Structure 1
Amino acid sequence: MPTIDSAAERAYAATRTAILDGTHRPGAMLSENELAGRLGMSRTPVRAALARLQDEGWITIYPKRGALVRELGAREIADLADARLILEAMGVQRATSEVRRALADRLEPELDAQRDALVARDIDGFVALTIAFHRSFVEASGNAVLVEIGDRLADRQRLLLSAHRDLLFDRVDETIAEHRALIERLRADDPAGFAEALRAHIMDTHGPELGPV
């Protein structure tokens, strides 16, 4: 028989995943009773899981009403965009010419998979692909600390992309073209041009409501 601690961990993991993949959309109100029934457990571990999620900033608990799934505010989205721009541009700048060109060759074939996911409206598949795509720019630096910082931002990025899935599905060609432009700057061994293309990709096209894709 599972302990309360293990049940709470399971409730936490399942609810957190459902928030990040958009199953529980921003603005949704979660019920302890409904979550407990869905997960096949009592309310006690669910209550513990929700308290932990509130501590991490994913929900806001309203006693006797439920738990509200938080939306990222405009300032949080802007801060996320700034942080990713700095990390990814720095990663490419710190890479050697050989690493930049090899990365371009490796990423080029991935564009077809990204397009296929968007066309199929497979948000989970696309989110995984695009987060890995952008992580590659940070990895190019060879700096484990930069990669660790970038990984800490991945869940916020996943939440943001899942919440704006309809916008992503509406601009398939634009997104793939922007990703291709980033690869072309890598292949040209042009870190300054890469930074400008990345800035446009993050700020100009998507705007503050979406941030980096």
Structure 2
Amino acid sequence: MGRVSGKISVQSYLKGNGNMSSLVDIAYSKIRENIMTGIYMPGSLLSENELAQLLNMSRTPIRGAISRLESEGFVSSLKNRGLFVKEISYKEILDVMEVFLFLEEYSVDSVIEKGLIYNIEELNKHLEQQLDAEKKDDYPAYVQSSMMFTRSMITSANNQTMLQIMDSVKDKLIHFGIVNWKLTPHQKHYSANLLNKAIYEAVCAEDYVEVKRLCKEAYLRNRERFIRSGIQ
């Protein structure tokens, strides 16, 4: 485990006299962003004093931010040691992927049974952003665009509760993907580009059976890979 270093910009704070609630929001956003993008990698040990100094604020809003991050499962406080950035397990990610599969399949069923439609233009936009991110080797942008492609699919079901469920867990999948990308530079990444391209083509052809097959096949492929990695 290593301690984190590096200056964090808090210009939005320095420009104003924000109240305690806004300072907590700023601290939460900055720390969370660094966790999500892998600047603070799993296993990193942070300290309240260090974070307060980097963010140019007192420890009180830092503690409020830490409490929120703990409730989301990104960090864990260690008594007399500091803040530990948690690793997201294969089991947890597989559970999230299973939820995504259910939501994707339900969106297809809704289109078929309720006469709803997919937003072809929006799907194409996110797909093009994915492909462009691969050309630029911008993995974080690729992961975000891939997630928005899936979200666009689920939006077609016209069920706000389902979207809220997805939004509550999607960041863990994004975080997991970025960390895995940083830890395995020798492996091939960007696999969702081929998958989403095939899904997009099937949606355009209104071959919804194929859309469900592609989603299920991708889930089973990832499940098998995780099992080989030692998931119980």
Structure with bigger RCO (C-alpha 8 Å, 6+ apart): 1
Match of 2:194 among 164, 177, 191: 177
2:226 is matched with 208
Partner of 1:158: 174
Higher alpha-carbon deviation: 174-183 or 132-141: 174-183
Kindly provide the CA deviation profile for residues 180-206 of structure 1, in whole angstroms up to 9, marking residues without a partner as x.
111122123232321221122233158
Unaligned runs of 5+ in 2: 1-16
Q: CA separation in 1, counterparts of 2:32 and 2:191?
A: 30
State the percentage of identical aligned residues.
27
Q: 1:169 to 1:109 in 2, by over 3 A?
A: farther
Structure 2 counterparts to residues 43-82 of structure 1, below 5 A: 43-82=59-98
CA distances 1:108-154 after superposition (whole Å, capped 9, x unpaired) = 35433212212323233222211110101101112222222222222
Question: Which residue of the other structure, out of 199, 202, 205, is the alignment partner of 1:188?
Answer: 205
Q: How far apart are 1:90 and its partner, in Å?
A: 0.8
Pairwise CA distance, 1:4:
3.5
* Distance in 2 of aligned mates of 1:76 and 1:56: 13
Aligned partner (choices 129, 140, 143) of residue 159 of structure 2? 143
Q: 1:63 to 1:106 in 2, by over 3 A?
A: closer
Structure 2 match to 1:199: 216
TM-score w.r.t. length of structure 2 = 0.78
User: How far 1:69 moved relative to its partner?
Assistant: 0.8
Q: Which amino acid aligns with 2:49?
A: N
Q: Aligned-pair distance for 1:74?
A: 2.5
Partner Cα distance (1:94, 1:134) in 2: 15
Secondary structure of 1:114's match?
helix
Amino acid at match of 1:88: E
Give the Cα–Cα distance (whole angstroms) in 2 for the partners of residues 198 and 57 of structure 1: 27
- Write the distance in 1 (CA, Å) between the matches of 2:136 and 2:86: 28
2:48 pairs, out of 26, 32, 51, with: 32
Contact 2:47 2:81 in 1 (8 A): yes
2:117 matched residue in structure 1: 99
Which one-letter code corresponds to 1:153 in the other structure?
V
Root-mean-square deviation (CA), in Å? 2.6
Letter aligned with residue 205 of structure 2: A
- Number of positions where the alignment pairs a residue of Structure 1 with one of Structure 2: 208
What residue is the counterpart of 1:22 in the other structure?
38
Task: Measure the CA separation in 2 of the matches of 1:114 and 1:89.
Answer: 22
Q: Which residue of 2 aligns with 1:129?
A: 145
Q: Which runs of 5+ in 1 are unaligned?
A: none
Cα contact 2:110–2:116 (8 A) shared by 1: no
